[in-house]
Amino acid sequence: MNWATATEVNSEAFELERFADSTFVKIGEVEAAGISSATVAYEFIDRDIPTSRRSLVYRLKQIDIDGSFTYSNSIEVALLDNLWNNSIKIFPNPATNQLNITYEAINQGVVNLEVFDLNGKRIIQEKQQPNSQPNTYSLDISQLEIGFYLLSVEQEGNQQRVLFQVQK
């Protein structure tokens, strides 16, 4: 989740909440800037996504130093069914210079491999023609800095994303 504030006055923290079983539940917290007149960008990764749901609903709780708080509007995020059947595997993870990707293609059409940083900026884009089942592809990630990235594997509108880490 990514969000930004234009200004902050006496803000303490942001709590991230996910709707579950008829109520919102805290899933994480991010420290706020406190006082700021410049734009401040924040992010949080939900690492415990329930796979049994078709969509998830999130909201932010902004808490001030005095304990008062406000809620953001709720947003619903659709979890897409896909034809990959979770068949994409990556190794090693964490990786250093090379990421090996194994997948079973839906058909013989072109497969798009993309790597995004956690701000959504595309860093790597490659196309591959699948040739056998399963397909294995080695992706050069030596130019990536230490951190977390999102690998997107897409074929004919069907997409699966996998989080991976780079260490040096």
Q: Is residue 97 over pLDDT 70? A: yes
Rounded Cα–Cα distance for residues 110 and 27 (Å): 38
Q: Which residue has the higher pLDDT, 9 or 51?
A: 9
Rounded Cα–Cα distance for residues 140 and 78 (Å): 31
Confidence of residue 79 (pLDDT cuts 50, 70, 90): low
**Residue 120 contacts residue 89 (beta carbons within 8 Å):** no
**Residue 49 contacts residue 72 (beta carbons within 8 Å):** no
pTM: 0.52
Q: Which domains does the chain have, with CATH numbers?
A: 2-78 (2.60.40), 89-166 (2.60.40.3080)
Low-confidence winner among 123-127, 130-134, 163-167 (lowest mean pLDDT): 130-134
The one-letter code for the residue type at 64 is D
Q: Which residue has the higher pLDDT, 18 or 158?
A: 18
